[in-house]
Amino acid sequence: MKLLIFVCVLLALSACQPQQVNQAAQQQHFICKSLIEGFLKTQNLGEYQLNHLQPTLHQTATIREYTYRASADHAMKINMPTQQNLKFECQQNSAQHFEIKLINLPSDSQATLLSLNLPPQKTIDNLTAFVLKTQ
């Protein structure tokens, strides 16, 4: 009986533990988010902030959807109507190729905004000015 209670407690405690973020998904998210936010800044749309990410960073995915929302205080300052939400799709076609698409919410049509080809990892390593020591 004590063993059964112990197993139940362990299961309950393990269910409370947060899932580990997948390192490859985290790296992909960093690239996608940087590209999207760089695009927003170049278009003078810096008032948009990341509101939702699908799927989460617990597993790798070839396509992630990013929803950005206009900050409430900025929307009140401007008299012109603005789109409250902007939806982007980030697709990683290979280890080095990323595409950012803007999704038109009413029609669900897509327009490719950016396409990025990263150099091979060896080239990046050679160009890096310093190396971070990992534990």
Range of the domain at 58: 19-116
Is the residue at 35 inside a domain?
yes
Position 18 scores a pLDDT of 56
Give the pLDDT of the chain (135 residues) as one tens digit per residue: 554 454 444 455 455 555 567 888 999 999 999 999 999 999 999 899 999 999 999 888 999 999 999 987 754 565 444 688 999 999 999 989 999 999 987 787 999 999 999 888 888 778 776 666 665
The Cα–Cα gap between 14 and 10 comes to 6
Is residue 51 one of the residues assigned to a domain? yes
Q: Is residue 29 part of a domain?
A: yes
Number of domains present in the structure of the chain: 1
Q: Measured between alpha carbons, how far is 3 from 69 in angstroms, rounded to an integer?
A: 50
Q: Is residue 11 part of a domain?
A: no
Q: What is the pTM of this model?
A: 0.73
C-alpha 102 chain-centroid distance:
14
Q: Which runs of consecutive H residues, i.e. helices, occur in the chain? A: 2-16, 23-42, 72-77, 121-127
pLDDT at site 124: 78
Q: Is 102 part of any domain?
A: yes
Nearest to 92 by CA among 64, 125, 52, 53: 64
Q: What is the pLDDT of residue 86?
A: 94
**Does residue 71 belong to any structural domain of this protein?**
yes
Please, which residues bridge with residue 65 across strands? 54, 89
Please answer whether residues 65 and 54 qualify as being in contact, where contact means their C-beta atoms are separated by less than 8 angstroms.
yes
- The verdict on residue 6 lying in a domain is no
Per-residue pLDDT, 3? 47
Task: Flag whether 125 is in a domain.
Answer: no
